[in-house]
Structure 1
Amino acid sequence: MTDTPDTSGSGRPSVLFVCVHNAGRSQMAAAYLAHLAGDAVEVRSAGSEPADRVNPAVVAAMAEEGIDVSAATPRVLTADAVRASDVVITMGCGDACPVFPGRRYLDWTLDDPAGRGVEAVRPIRDEIRRRVEALVAELTGR
């Protein structure tokens, strides 16, 4: 288990994934973390400027992995979501994410899947999975 403090009060680490539209990268990362860690980690995602829906190419790429994100809804980033998270992982949202003491912040530089077809989304998806697998191992010891 990591030394990441549990600031959520749930007894398990919590992770917030943030990107601009909460329609691609952060949705894929959150879905992978929920899929791979199960109940061992609390998962949140949000966007600094949320879109109306999850990117259809992201939905298709995740379906290829057996993960359904078609019902996911982009959410706006709030200070409360950051405050309730132990680890905050940003993906191209710049300075939009508020910073609070006691949180661990990571920035994952990843291509934005916006406006791309499923063929272009697959390598982004695969890189996100690789990073999430490493995060799961770190947070849960799995």
Structure 2
Amino acid sequence: MRPAGGLAVDGESALPATGTEELLRFDGLVELSTGQYVTEALTFDLSRSDNQHLGYGHGIHYCLGAPLARLEGQAAVATLLRRLPGLRLAGESADLRWRGGLIMRGLRTLPVEFEPGRRLEESDTLSPL
């Protein structure tokens, strides 16, 4: 994996609208051959505009909940980036251990580091947006 852009953002920036789609494209459920449909498939680029994927299916098998899932994903990532400044992978991506299985795929653990910040007060809003 060659990250073309990190997930870190400054206080005024936000994850590009293409970012959520790139997350789904980069580590999607459907494997494609490099160069077959995607140029620079191993480059993680949050600003990539040509980021088509099959993460939510296709045609008559397209997920009806896809728009809600996209919105939830954007809100979750934006909240993480805002609340955990300097969020980054702790260690090398090659050291990550994946769960086995045909139905569900995921990491066993995801070690991250971030800059410590102030504690949330009772009066602070917990709104993701």
Fold-level similarity (TM above 0.5): no
Whichever of the two has the greater Rg, that structure is 2
Q: Which protein is richer in strand relative to its size?
A: 1
Q: Which protein is richer in helix relative to its size?
A: 1
* TM score, norm. by length of structure 2: 0.30
